Chains A and B, each alone.
Chain A
Amino acid sequence: MLFSVDSEGYVRVSGSLLAAFKLLLETAIFVSISFAAISSRLFSVVRFESIIHEFDPWFNFRATKYLVSHTFYQFLNWFDDKTWYPLGRVTGGTLYPGLMVTSSVIYELLHKIGLPIDVRNICVLLAPAFSSVTSLATYLLTLEISDTVGGLRHRKTAAFFSAFFMGIVPGYISRSVAGAYDNEAIAITLLMVTFYLWIKAVRHGSVFYGALTALFYFYMVSAWGGYVFITNMIPLHVFILLLMGRFSYKLYTSYCTWYVLGTLMSMQIPFVGFLPIRSNDHMSALGVFGLLQLVLLANYLKRLLTPEKFHRLMIALGALVLSVGISGLVLATKMGLIAPWTGRFYSLWDTSYAKIHIPIIASVSEHQPTPWAAFFFDQNFLIWLFPVGVFLCFQDLSDEAVFIIVYSVLASYFAGVMVRLMLTLSPVVCICAGLTIGRLFGIYTDFRESISSKARKASGEIFNSLSKILVASSLLFYLYYYVQHCTWVNSSAYSSPSVVLASRNPDGSPALIDDFREAYYWLRMNTAEDAKVMAWWDYGYQIGGMADRTTFVDNNTWNNTHIAAVGKAMAVDERKSEVIMRRLGVDYVLVIFGGVLGYSGDDINKFLWMVRISEGIWPDEVTERNYFTQGGSYKIDDTASPTMRNSLMYKMSYYRFGDLYRGGDPVDRVRQQKMSAGYAESIHLDILDEVFTSENWIVRIYKLKNKDNFGRDLIELGEQERKHLGKKTLRKKTRTKPSLDLRV
């Protein structure tokens, strides 16, 4: 008999059936959490198509394709001559290979079992797939924590809630929608798995789990520069435990195993190399490692010596170690053995550092501080359950709970300083909120007492049931609302590929603006295979990935001077620019122009950064002030300053802009400025030929004219032509379409 009905009317079920039922239920919950996590990341695929998003993912995609078609060693030694022309880039040694290796392994596996899935689709769907693993890891981590937090009647409830929160929290989805093929896509999963294994190692003091932690730490190092967070988080945890007087051999075993193995393995990544023993980012891990040995020694001596002797010895030893340590650190830094603290590290602690010293960091919007609305937007009601979770962790301050406390305070500080670090905060918010909700549900959804016949007679039972119903229903409402919020945020804010833009037709039907791909495809089909395309660095990865042409600068901003050279070529007048472009070997120039459509992320809006960066290198030739009018405003219409008007970027953007309006006054829709028709017509280009302009004018491509056969100056030639031709013929001439207008 699997179940029977007893005398009181209760159904008694046998243990094995119950266990099977439990397992089935848990699996069902997991499947639905994974389903929710994956499907809420598919908005962009459904709405647009299976496409790689934004900028950096295009490089990762290109690198993955390279890895799939070459061997692993070829990939590690990859010297990319298609970027940073003519310098090239040692790509294999300057990237985190984890992401590419992961997807190529998946690719190979799928092909082995006879599923010929395209690399692109694997890359697009990698992040959603990994997000479901993240939920699982969060579940396991919370389960470990909730084991030690008192008062949780159903510890799995808390774990399931945190997994569910983690699955759809917008703070994590922002970096892991389908198509966001970036390092963070797998890094957060690895972060959670590493932390889970670490907690497991600390609980059991096991070398096995310590080694596993090191293994996943190595995977994390290979995948994301943010591994430094783990490198500092674990030592900090250990350090605080030591301060609390909680040294144990379990702690010693797990930390030493992790540190030694993890450091050795992380040094195998070419890009990391000897950083773990040289850079100050990693020094805290080394310091805690040393400290643990000393504490171990002290523990040993304590057993041998009398308390008095031990006390004296400790003071002497402490002073010695402190002085030797500090002087050693100072000496090594002075001698250059240890790298100075890196800029990114500084910008986290000294909040005004980045603004002054690293303009290229300051210019990136991801590095801005976070206002409260962003926290609420990304976490919804979890953000006010978060402190309650911290409160709960303090209840029985177990070693694992200390970890969560340290993690919460540290991560919330970092997330406050830098928007992109919201990503590392989200997991701990989900864990804390899961603990809270799990606890609340454990208390308030337990109706066993009210149902049993004995309690029904008790007088206050009605109030007990009422308060349970009240709290449980309000919680359910908040949860329902959380799902609504997350779905809305994910669909409206985080699901745009930014390669394809969404807009609406005049009649309200949805329309796609596909200028970027149109232009890149044109480049791919109509230019020589070794053509060199000059564009601002934002578009470097996309040109490399989509058009497969050589670029001068790209989003890997390793050479500031080279970027400044491109910026200067855009910022100066035609004559000077021609010299620079010929020297660089430019064939085509690509500009992004949003004036027709009102696309605000265009090159004229980024122009000041080009000017600033090139001014940093050539202050005598480029001056930011000259690009503003006398009154100090940034104008592009008839009143634009002469320097602005003569700059190549300005000319490339507005060349033939007037033709669109057929004699009317053209209006720039981004800057809301109107230029007169006559003025718009006078904008001319002598050294470049317009070869392509996309449907909505977002991308415009120019070809650098060949040198004149008779050695004449191109600009003088243009001047003469304009003088000789009458106004009418000039108009007619500019109206003729370029011969290469092949739209495929």
Chain B
Amino acid sequence: MKSMGSASLVRITDRNYHDLLTNEDYSLVIFLTASSSRVGCVLCAEMMPKYAQMATSYYKNLRSSTSFPVEDTQDSEEEKARFVVAYADFGECQEFFQGLEISSVPKIYYYAPGKAVHMASPTDEYRFIGDESAQNFGEWILSHSEKSDASLFKVVETPDYQSMFLTIFAILGFAVAFYRHSDKVFAFIYNKKLWRAACMILSILFCSGYMYNNIRGTEFTGKGKDGEILYFSPSQQSQYGAETQIISVVYAFLAVGVILILDTNRKLTDPKLRFIANLAASVTVYFLYAYLLSCFRVKSGGYPFKLLSFA
């Protein structure tokens, strides 16, 4: 148990939670979260880094404090005031969550030493207000122990050097490239075709529900009743990631088809060739539109219209 009390943020899984809960010496703090996109818990994703920051700074403070490391086998008074700071992800330990009997995440449970055996009744539970900082968590934990040292919970900001350097290098690189090849960059910026394509792609993407996937973090595909893979969610109010891809491609081809019909008049002079091109484009547009309708019928049950029936 000692090693656990002094390492770092403990990750609970179905294998280790039993040992952790039966420990008698330490106060236990558990952050219960669900990071899987299936659950779609936004608050969990918000809070986890802050909690982790609190935990790492706690352990860092602990390590730098004088009483550490303690060599003797007997736990000192000071050590008993320490906390085990842990977190559990629903995806990794469903058995543990069943034991807790909770229905919503995120939660932070505090167990006084020896109390963790009664999983479902924690000593205290943290109330989220929505815009916590790591400091809030630390203060809350601190409020449960008279012995513990407040300075241990001082949040240590660890600058993310890696991303800092990356950003600086990227900016420098761009600046140099811009300076060296400014004429090419300008040609790129002034390219009308590029902007045209970008605007069309953007509007197609937004109209095929790209933002919905982004905001909701939807699954790419779903599962039907018999376990088969569903590419289209059967409800009009929801969708899978695959749908956006399929539909945006359909939209793009439809748009290209119409543009072809528009342009044949200008580009092809031979009437026969023009007719063939028009025929091909019109038939493609018709089939794609029919396919689009059949996709829509999957989602909207009572929709009465169709062009062709696709299996």
Contact = CB atoms under 8 A, between A and B. Distances in A.
Nearest to B212: A369
Contacts of B102: 632
Most B-side CB within 10 Å, residue of A352, A373, A386:
A373
Interface string A328-358: 0000000000000000000000011001110
B4 interface: no
B251 A471 contact: no
A470 B243 CA distance: 31
Interface in B209-249: 209-212, 214-216, 236-239, 243-244, 247
Nearest to B107: A625
B43 to A, nearest CB: 6
A409 B71 CA distance: 66
A369 B195 contact: no
A412 B101 CA distance: 44
Interface stretch (A139-147, A157-165, A193-201, A375-383): A375-383
Interface string A455-489: 00000111110110011001000100100110010
Size bracket, chain A contacts = 35 or more
A381 B206 CA distance: 16
B150 interface: no
Contacts of B286: 474
Interface in A411-455: 412-413, 415-417, 436, 439-440, 443-444
A474 B281 CA distance: 11
B10 interface: no
B108 interface: no
Given A384-B255, A463-B271, A375 B207 contact: yes
A630 interface: yes
B239 A373 contact: yes
A463 B209 contact: no
Given A464-B274, A488-B305, A386 B215 contact: no
Interface residues of B, number: 65
A387 interface: yes
B211 A369 contact: yes
B304 A488 contact: yes
B130 interface: yes
B267 interface: no
A655 interface: no
Interface stretch (A209-217, A389-397, A522-530, A573-581): A389-397
Given A372-B239, A394-B192, A481-B305, A352 B254 contact: no
A383 B251 CA distance: 8
Contact of B209 (A381, A391, A416, A630): A416
A440 B210 contact: no
A511 interface: no
Contact of A619 (B127, B131, B199): B127
A467 B302 CA distance: 36
B110 to A, nearest CB: 16
B209 A375 contact: yes
Given A481-B305, A628-B103, A394 B46 contact: no
Given A388-B262, A394-B195, A355 B42 contact: yes
B160 to A, nearest CB: 20
Interface stretch (B17-25, B161-169, B292-300): B292-300
A463 B203 contact: no
A371 B282 contact: no
A381 B289 contact: yes
Chain A CB count within 10 A is highest, among B196, B258, B292, B300, for B258
B145 interface: no
A415 B210 CA distance: 11
Given A357-B130, A474-B282, A630 B101 contact: yes
A138 to B, nearest CB: 19
A416 B103 contact: no
Nearest to B237: A371
Contact of A409 (B199, B254, B304): B199
B39 interface: no
Contact of B204 (A387, A394, A484): A387
Contact of B275 (A351, A375, A413, A467): A467
A351 B211 contact: yes
B208 interface: yes
A374 interface: yes
Given A375-B209, A415-B206, A471-B282, A439 B215 contact: no
A635 to B, nearest CB: 12
Given A391-B259, A484-B305, A397 B278 contact: no
Given A464-B271, A632-B102, A412 B216 contact: no
Given A384-B251, A460-B270, A471-B261, A372 B208 contact: yes
B305 A391 contact: no
Nearest to B238: A371
B206 A416 contact: yes
Interface in A478-513: 478, 481, 484-485, 488, 492
B210 A416 contact: yes
A127 B282 CA distance: 38
A385 B215 CA distance: 26
Contacts of B207: 372, 375, 383, 386, 412, 415-416
B203 A409 contact: yes
B200 A371 contact: no
A373 B255 contact: no
A460 B264 CA distance: 15
B202 interface: yes
Interface string B50-64: 000000000000000
Given A356-B43, A439-B262, A463-B275, A470 B195 contact: no
Contacts of A413: 202, 206, 211
B272 interface: yes
Given A371-B212, A372-B247, A461-B271, A388 B255 contact: yes
B175 interface: no
A408 interface: yes
A614 to B, nearest CB: 14
A388 B258 contact: yes
A370 interface: yes
B279 interface: yes
A405 interface: yes
B265 interface: yes
A371 to B, nearest CB: 4
B285 interface: yes
A390 B203 contact: yes
A296 to B, nearest CB: 24
A195 B186 CA distance: 32
Nearest to A359: B130
Given A370-B212, A394-B196, A412-B202, A376 B304 contact: no
B215 A417 contact: yes
Given A371-B212, A394-B196, A443-B262, 17 more contacts: A356-B46, A369-B211, A372-B247, A375-B209, A376-B296, A384-B250, A384-B251, A387-B203, A387-B255, A412-B207, A415-B206, A464-B275, A474-B286, A484-B305, A488-B305, A492-B302, A628-B103
Interface of A: 351-352, 355-357, 369-377, 381, 383-388, 390-392, 394, 397, 405, 408-409, 412-413, 415-417, 436, 439-440, 443-444, 460-464, 466-467, 470-471, 474, 478, 481, 484-485, 488, 492, 619, 624-625, 628, 630-633
10 smallest CB-CB distances across A and B, nearest first, come from A632-B103, A460-B271, A416-B211, A372-B209, A463-B271, A412-B206, A384-B254, A416-B206, A463-B275, A467-B278
24 contacts: A352-B215, A370-B212, A371-B243, A372-B207, A373-B300, A377-B300, A385-B255, A387-B203, A387-B251, A388-B259, A408-B203, A409-B206, A412-B203, A412-B207, A413-B206, A416-B212, A463-B275, A464-B271, A464-B275, A471-B261, A485-B305, A488-B305, A492-B302, A631-B101
Interface of B: 42-43, 46, 101-104, 127, 130-131, 192, 195-196, 199-200, 202-204, 206-212, 214-216, 236-239, 243-244, 247, 250-252, 254-255, 258-259, 261-262, 264-265, 270-272, 274-275, 278-279, 282, 285-286, 289, 292, 296, 299-300, 302, 304-305, 307
